[in-house]
Amino acid sequence: MRLPSLLIASLLTFSANSWAARDFTPQAGTWIISSELDGKPGRGLAIDVQGNTFFMQVFGYEKNGDATFYTATGQLDGNTVTAPLVRYTGGRSFGSEARDAVEDSSPGNVTVSFSNGLKGTVQFPGEAPAAIERFAIKELTPSISNPLAQLGQRALTLLILDEDLQFKQIHSVLLQRNEEGQPELLEYIGPDQPRRILPCTVEVAQSKFQCVSTDSGGYVDSLRFQIVGGQIAGQIRMKDALGRELPLIGQSDSVMHYTHGALSQQTYETLLLSGSTITGIPTRYYHQMMPSNGTWVVQDELTGKPGRGMALDVQNSTMVLQVFNYGSDGQPTFHMGSGVYESAGADTLGSRADFALGQYAGGRNFGGAAQSAHAVGEAGPVRVELSVRWNGPGRTASQIGTITFPGEAPKTIERLRLDHQSNLADRLFGEWYAPPLNAHFTLDREKDGVIQSTDGSISCEQKDPAYPDRVTCTRVGMQTEIGTPVVSNFSIPLLNRGSTWIQIRDRFGNLQGLGNID
């Protein structure tokens, strides 16, 4: 997979002040054309936005009905991007020798506009603008990975904003189900007080929770929110905010459930609890390592030339995978499949999904009449695996894994980074909240390779080049109880996945939430 040289040049040409900042970030993953969601195979979009860089893979059909794909790359100006659709030929098919593809042609430009992080419009060549939306799996099977039917306790980190969408405060709660199976929130008040319970109702069609306090204690009066792909968006009323309803963003990165001698955990980060016991009781351990949804590539095929690409999307316990590749004749095509994604087994640190990759034909081409596609067979089985790795440099566990394509040996895959970041300042500049440091700050200064906050209270540096994602930050002027500086080691997150730090705004000023999704 290769990004066009034109895009790389544009990243070097424009400065952070060249774009209008957004008050949301479109969520990476599978998107669909709303009017074409009819339960039958059709067209779809794999969208990825990092910083201001937009990358889209379109799976569609030729005029003769053959499956094909196109890519589009460009720079978002505010909420909109217009970019050429590009077709490729000559690349690698399943089980073939290594082959680079070449750019073939373009059917014209595509324009994509977003209204929030989950909705927007697309205009393909020869077509009127059409509504698009983030594809969402909605089902009520109880599991640790399904917030609508939560088993165990799901940690929610809420970043509360003011009316001007500026950070106000952070608050943490737990989502769980009571004995009657109804959702509820647990709010931690203090070490000498019991946790408060806020009963909740859920609107299944919209996947939205409404939680309301029933007493005068605690901090939260009411909370209305939605969890989409690990991100939280909604509104909150705090009891000390004079009844004002404030916007919130946030994330849900970890779940834990203990039952019948087994401890199950879901996380985007490294392992939170290790070993095979909990509070002295022998237990079996199951770990579900969640991937960072979006564009993935085979590591040794990232050569700077066009090639194969993947769109990986895990929601609840389902993995959806689109593979953008080539037939034996070198013509572009796509394959798609889905299956259960779960722990690889008791007392392992791995997670995986096994399913068949389907082939399709007969769908709508650009400018053509609306029509659904149909399945024409299977290309064979695929396996995707992620695992916590303790040794060796590399990316966080949510951004690296392995894939076994039909007729091929397992290959390392990694989450594709689109936003050109040539130095540590590019990677760290922006607004942050660091729970380990209990600090909210903006990193916007650089001196001798050390990145500092506006007020100089936070100082960060990269000490080991072998671990490019690992950064050590010190809170200046503060010490621990034993007199050592307050230090936090963290992994730089990609789209707020796989880190103990939370980015609020990127270096362009874009808010890293879904925006107003009502």
Going along the chain from its start, the domains and CATH numbers come out as 5-134 (2.40.128), 147-263 (2.40.160), 289-415 (2.40.128), 424-505 (no CATH)
CA 75, CA 14: separation in Å to the nearest integer? 10
The per-residue DSSP string of 332-387 comes to EEEEEEEEEEEESSTT-SEEEEEEEEEEEE--PPTTS-----EEEEEEEEEEEEEE
Of the chain, the end-to-end C-alpha distance in Å amounts to 36
Indicate the length of the chain as a whole number.
518
293, 314 contact by CB (below 8 A): yes
Structure confidence at residue 14 (pLDDT): 37
498, 399 contact by CB (below 8 A): yes
Task: From residue 149, give the alpha-carbon distance in Å to each of 94, 262, 383.
Answer: 38, 19, 27
Name every residue whose Cβ is closer than 8 Å to that of residue 341 and which is 6 or more positions away in sequence: 288, 314, 317, 318, 319, 351, 352, 353, 384
CA 434, CA 460: separation in Å to the nearest integer? 12
In three-state form (DSSP H/G/I as H, E/B as E, the rest C), the secondary structure along 229-244 is: CCEEEEEEEECCCCCC
Structure confidence at residue 34 (pLDDT): 96
Nearest to 114 by CA among 133, 139, 88: 133
Nearest to 379 by CA among 341, 326, 339: 326
Extract the residue ranges of the chain whose pLDDT is less than 70.
1-19, 270-282, 389-395
Structure confidence at residue 390 (pLDDT): 57
- Across the beta sheet with 430-434, the strand order is 485-491, 470-479, 458-461, 450-453, 439-447, 430-434, 502-505
